[in-house]
Structure 1
């Protein structure tokens, strides 16, 4: 948990610092300070800043996941063994059942964690990858449940939805940070106003980003329930529940170090608490099982 929060804070520090440097070089910060706040122009600028990074991240998401996780992509016509053959057949079968227009790439990454994830910029350019730990600790029915959950993420368009939400959050962060910083800068001496504006912008960007990520995580938890429901329709409710129960028995093997793809993993929790829930992209496994049990 601490590692993920630290990584988030560091990432936002780098993003904010980059924005400050670029806007300073382009003269945006001084232009805003010297000419005042023009709401429509600032909103357009905030939209560009807010969505550019999110859309670029979505565009390279499949490639980035492969590089970060060291994913080996299985050749669908030339699997190396029965396990790879089984994965390809199950993913393709579930994808056809879900109505995906193009079969996702199927991959394996070397990790002791019992996990899997889906990513990609669209339903036509998606990836489903499982860990070697999952293949070692789960039986075939549980694996099918996990794969169905990931296919449901793709079919539901969750990668695009999460990106658009993040873009909206980034836009509000950029817009509000600059407006509030500009107002604060008017309450200090003129020679200090510009530096106060920059410092305030940096601080408020971090604060609003932290609040924004809570919104993103809360929405992500809702999407997990939808993916579980979709997985139950594709593979059957019992297989989905069986998969989650097997995850419960392997909580010690969850690795959160790759925060970039943690949102669309099958699970990312080790311990359940009020604090961990706020900063988690997934509901507790107990809550997810209870939800599935209520479905007819």
Structure 2
């Protein structure tokens, strides 16, 4: 059902892009818009991971430079039956993480120094399992396509606002409404994928409450601590495990409280037969403890 919903929403976004092209240039405009979108998607398919990692100035690590963190990701990838992704650390105080790559064979996961400093070992494990859940569900490619098309819709709207000819009320409405419609579709797709990645993380790590605790800790800090990459490129906000510097109404992520509640249900239900699903259930009452504990995975070592 999640795949069907995503497919339908992606089709709606593509149709919106073509309508936008038609409103500005007629049938030829619609065809040209579709060709441009195809070219952009082809480029991002091959280069999105490189662009994202360079944007964040991410540094690749291995078993020699960061043995605990690398070994953790390696073990989780094995449990998820995934090829070993490349592992990166981003020198940034905001606690966050993301995954990128066109497919599981060409994937990468990254965590910020802020996240590695703030969370416990189990919580970091839950976060990285979430990112591997995105890789397993092939969300990294889907979300790249969505961001590309949504960005193209906004680009056409800006073009039409300044260079449109007199095509009547329909054309004017398309220029102003299309970007908001694209944003709504993008939010719907992204929120669906986040729930799916949370579920996959619980299955991979076997500790849904560790991820719930991590989400609780980092969500507030992600709003308070600036993320220069997201500030320069707002589209990057959808990459992270929690939204960065955006109001919930406009967020590409579900409310953190709803995600935590879903993970609590998984922990109590114990579905899937994974060992340790309820091991961290006591952490429900501990989520409001001090945020200052330093992680065992010190990224500065």
Q: Scaled by the length of structure 1, what TM-score is found?
A: 0.69
Query: What's the counterpart of residue 243 of structure 1?
Result: 214
The 1:269–1:174 alpha-carbon spacing in structure 2 relative to 1, beyond 3 Å, is closer
2:183 aligned residue: 213
C-alpha distance 205-74 of structure 1, shift in aligned 2 (>3 A): farther
- Could you give the per-residue CA deviations for residues 83-125 of structure 1, whole angstroms, max 9, x where no partner exists? x21111111221222222x311101011110111111122211
Pair 1:97-2:79 in alignment: yes
1:232 to 202, 205, 208: 202
Match of 2:116 in 1: 135
C-alpha separation between the residues in 2 aligned to 1:142 and 1:159?
22
Answer whether contact 1:119 1:261 (CA < 8 A) is retained: no
Alpha-carbon deviation of 1:73? 0.3
- Alignment match of 1:88 (pick from 43, 62, 70): 70
Residue 241 (structure 2) aligned to one of 263, 266, 270: 266
Evaluate the alpha carbon distance shift between residue 131 and residue 153 of structure 1 in structure 2; reply closer, same or farther with a 3 A threshold.
same
Q: 3-state DSSP class of the match of 1:262?
A: helix
Helix, strand or coil: the match of 2:102? strand
**Do the aligned partners of 1:268 and 1:282 also contact (CA within 8 Å) in 2?**
yes
Q: Do structure 1's residue 287 and structure 2's residue 258 form an aligned pair?
A: yes
Q: Structure 1 residues 246, 277: closer, same or farther in 2, change over 3 A?
A: closer
1:49 corresponds to: 36
Write the distance in 2 (CA, Å) between the matches of 1:166 and 1:270: 18
**Equivalent pairs, count:** 239
Compare CA radii of gyration and give the structure with the larger one: 1
Task: Provide the rounded CA distance (Å) in 1 between the counterparts of 2:219 and 2:151.
Answer: 34
1:253 to 225, 229, 233: 225
**Contact conserved, 2:48 with 2:144, CA < 8 A, in 1?**
no
Native 8 Å contact 1:148 1:235 kept in 2: yes
TM-score by length of 2: 0.68
Cα distance in 2 for partners of 1:185, 1:270 equals 38
* 2:193 maps to which of 204, 209, 223: 223
CA distance in 1 between counterparts of 2:194 and 2:37 reads 25
TM-aligned CA deviation for residue 249 of structure 1:
5.7
Whether the 8 Å contact between 1:214 and 1:278 is mirrored in structure 2 is no
Q: CA deviation at 1:173?
A: 7.6
Structure 2, unaligned runs of 5 or more: 1-20, 270-301
- CA distance 1:55–1:263, change in 2 (3 Å): farther
Runs (5+) with no aligned partner, structure 1: 1-19, 21-28, 188-199
1:277 has 2:252 as partner? no
